[in-house]
A and B are shown apart, each in its own frame.
Chain A
Amino acid sequence: MSWAVVARKDFRDARLSKALWAVTAAFVLLSAGLAVLYATVPELSQDIGELSTLGYLTLLLAVMTLFVSVAAIVIGAGAIAGERDRGSSKLLLGFPHSRADVVLGKLIGRTAVLAVAILVGLAVTLAVIVALFPTFSPVDYAIFAAVTLLFALVYVGIMVAVSATTGSGGRAMAFGVGVFILLEFLGDLLAPAVMFVVNGFSFGGLETVPGWYAFLNVVTPSAAYQNALGWFLGDGTAAALTLGGMLDGPVPFYLTGWASVAVLVLWLVVPLALGYRSFAAADL
C-alpha cells in the first residue's frame, strides 16, 4: 500500500499548514454562527415556519459549497506541483512509490485533511443545533455530512489533478483558481448559453425547457453536489423539482440525486486520469 504511506506522510504534513487552520476556523465560525443566526433571527426560518435541521442545512449548503471549493484550492493545488517546485518530490520519488501512488496518496491525504476540517465544523455546529433547535434530524445531518465528504473528495481531486500538470506551485495555484472560476461562475452560464444558441440566438418563446437544459444546470461539481443533497434531503431545492413545472415531461433519471452522484464520480475520475497522464510523462 504504497499510496497509503504517501497519504499518511501528506496528512501529517498538510494538517499543520497554517492556511488550513485559518480556513477551518473560518468555516467553524461560519457554520456555527449561521446556526445561531438561523435559530435566533425569525426572518431566516420563516419559509418553513419552524426551526428544523433541514431548513438550516439548506442555508448551510451554499456556505458549504463555497467553503469546500476554496479550501480545496488551498489544500490541493500545491499538492504535487509544490513538491516539485521545492524539490521535495525528489525525496518522495527517490523511494519506491509510483507516480500513480503519489497522485492517489495526495488525493487521500489532502482529502483527509479537508474532511477533518469539515467534520470539526459540523461537530461544533451540531452542538449549537442540539442546544438551540427544538428538534434534530440525525439522518438528514448524516446524509448532509456524507454527500459533503464526497464533494470534498471530488474538489480536492480536481485540484490535485491540476497540481499534477505543472512543476510550478505558483502556476498550479493560478490554474486552480482559474478552474474554480470556470466551474463556479462560468459553469452557471453554460445551460443558458447553449439554450440561447440552440434556440436560434434568442430566448424568445420558451414555455417549457428540455431535459438536457436542466441537466446542464446540474453538471458542474457544485451544482451536482447541491442537486444530490436537494434530492436526498427532499427539501424542494433539487433541480428536477424546481424545474418540474417547466419540464416537458416526467422527471428524467439524469436529474435524480443518484445521477448527480454519478456526475460527481466522473468529476473525480476524469480530471485525475488526465492529471496523472501528464505527471507520469513529466521530467521532474
Chain B
Amino acid sequence: MSQLDEQRGKRSDGIAIELVGLNKRYGDVTALDGVSLTVREGEIFGFLGPNGAGKSTTIDILLDFVRPSAGTATVLGYDAQTDSLAVRQAVGVLPDGYHLYDRLTARQHLEFAIASKSSDDDPIELLERVGIADAADRKAGGFSKGMRQRLVLAMALAGSPELLILDEPSTGLDPNGAREMRDIIRAERDRGATVFFSSHILEQVEAVCDRVGILRNGELVAVDTIDALRDALGTDARLVLTVESVTDDMVGAVATLPDVTGVRADGERRLTVSCASDAKSAVIRAVEAAGGTVVDFDVEETSLEEMFAAYTTDEYPATNSEGEGDSGLVTPSADGEEVRA
C-alpha cells in the first residue's frame, strides 16, 4: 500500500472513497437521498441493497457517468466530477449493465483497456488470471454471461488499479466462478488495492467483505462489519429445543428470562427461542426447571438473509436499536408457522 501511495504522490489521508450528503434526483424521483460514506484504503467494502436501492447510481456518480443533484464524491483524494480522468486512471471498473464490443475479440478488448490506462500489462496474463486465456482470440459476441463478466474483470485489472469498483461482480457466474471472483478480490486487496463492490447476493459479501454498507430506497441505513450488524439486530441466536412434551409452563418460564426476545412452540415437541448468544444455557435450565426434558437442541445464527431483510424491508426499523430486531418471533404462538423464511 505504501508503494501505491508513493506512486500517487498525493494525500488522500487513507480514504479511498468519501461521499458527503450525496443526492440524486431524476425528475421527481429521488434515487439517492443524503448518502454519506467513507471507505478506507485497503479494505474490501460491500455495498448492499435490493435492486433499485441506488447502488448503481452511487457508482455512476463515482465515475462521473451521472452528476449528483447535491453533495460531493471524492475518490482517492480526487473530486469525482472535476477530476474524473484522474479518478478513472486510478480505478478499475466492472460496471453494471455493460455491453461488450461483440465484433472484437477478448484480446482486443484487453488491448483497448491496457492502451486506455497507458499500462504495459500482457493481455494474455490478465485473461489467464480470470480463466479465459483460451478464448483470447474469440469474438466477445459469442461469449456466455460468465465469460463476459470475466473479460470485463480482466479489463478492470489492467494497470493495477488502486481501487476496484465492481458493480454486481458475480452476476452470471456459476459457484466456481464466484469463488474465483472472491479469490481475485482478496488477491487485489492483498496487493494493496481497495475493493468496493455492490451486490444483492449476500454470500458474496459475507465471504469477503471487511465492512458493508446497506442502502435502502436511496438512503444508507447501516455501515459496519457484518458481525456488528448482526449483533445490532439482537436476534443473534436462535435456539431450537426438542423436548419430550411442550407445556405452557415451559414457554412461560423461558419467556420471562431477561435475554430472551421470543419463544414459540412448534408443535408438541419443539420450542424455538430467540435469545442473546450467552443466554442459551439459561434457557435450557429454565426449561428443565419447568419440568421439561431436553432431548436435543440446535443453535442457528441469524442468517444473512434475515439480517438483510431486517435492514431493507419496511417491516423493520431502518436503524436498529436494542430489542427491536426480534419482531419476527412472537410470544408465545400456538400455531407453529415458520418464522421468517
The residues of A with any CB-CB pair to B shorter than 8 Å are 2, 5, 8-9, 12-13, 16-17, 83, 86-88, 90-91, 93-98, 283-284
Contacts and interface: CB of A to CB of B under 8 A. Distances in A.
B112 A94 contact: no
A91 B153 CA distance: 11
Interface in B39-83: 60, 63-67
B89 to A, nearest CB: 4
26 contacts: A5-B112, A5-B116, A9-B108, A12-B104, A17-B103, A86-B99, A87-B95, A87-B98, A87-B99, A88-B99, A90-B63, A90-B65, A90-B96, A91-B95, A91-B152, A93-B64, A94-B63, A94-B156, A95-B93, A95-B112, A96-B85, A96-B88, A96-B117, A97-B88, A284-B60, A284-B66
B54 to A, nearest CB: 14
Given A88-B99, A90-B98, A96-B85, 11 more contacts: A5-B112, A9-B108, A13-B101, A16-B103, A86-B99, A87-B99, A93-B64, A94-B93, A94-B95, A96-B117, A97-B85
B152 A13 contact: no
A95 B97 CA distance: 16
Nearest to B66: A283
Per CB-CB distance, the 10 closest pairs between chain A and chain B, nearest first, are A94-B93, A95-B116, A283-B66, A90-B95, A86-B99, A87-B99, A96-B89, A16-B103, A284-B65, A96-B88
A88 B108 contact: no
B253 interface: no
Nearest to A101: B85
Contacts of A83: 99
A17 B188 CA distance: 37
Contacts of A2: 116
A88 B101 contact: yes
Contacts of A284: 60, 65-66
Given A5-B112, A93-B65, A98 B155 contact: no
A99 B104 CA distance: 22
A283 B115 contact: no
A88 B98 contact: yes
A91 B100 contact: yes
A64 to B, nearest CB: 27
Nearest to B65: A284
Contacts of A283: 60, 65-67
Interface of B: 60, 63-67, 84-86, 88-89, 91, 93, 95-101, 103-104, 108, 112-113, 115-117, 152, 155-156
B115 A8 contact: yes
Question: Which secondary structure dominates where chain A touches chain B?
Answer: helix
A97 B116 contact: yes
B117 A95 contact: yes
Contact of A88 (B65, B84, B100): B100
A95 B60 CA distance: 13
B103 A90 contact: no
Contacts of B103: 12-13, 16-17
A13 B104 contact: yes
A276 to B, nearest CB: 15
Contacts of A12: 103-104, 108
Contacts of B99: 83, 86-88, 91
A284 B66 CA distance: 6
B85 A98 contact: yes
Nearest to A86: B99
Nearest to A85: B99
Contacts of A94: 63, 88, 91, 93, 95, 156
B104 A91 contact: no
Contacts of B156: 94
A202 to B, nearest CB: 50
Contacts of B116: 2, 5, 95-97
Contacts of A9: 101, 104, 108, 112
Contacts of B97: 87, 90
Q: Which of A2, A9, A16, A83 has the most CB of B within 10 A?
A: A9
A283 B61 CA distance: 9
A75 to B, nearest CB: 14
Nearest to A10: B101
Contacts of B89: 96
Nearest to B86: A96
B156 to A, nearest CB: 8
B320 to A, nearest CB: 34
A196 B56 CA distance: 56
A91 B99 CA distance: 7
Contacts of A91: 95, 98-100, 152, 155
A257 B113 CA distance: 43
A280 B115 CA distance: 23
Nearest to A90: B95
A13 B140 CA distance: 11
B250 to A, nearest CB: 58
A135 to B, nearest CB: 43
A18 B97 CA distance: 25
Nearest to A281: B67
A20 to B, nearest CB: 11
Contacts of B117: 95-96
Q: Which of A8, A12, A90 has the most CB of B within 10 A?
A: A90
B108 A93 contact: no
A232 B192 CA distance: 63
A80 to B, nearest CB: 14
A90 B167 CA distance: 11
B95 to A, nearest CB: 4
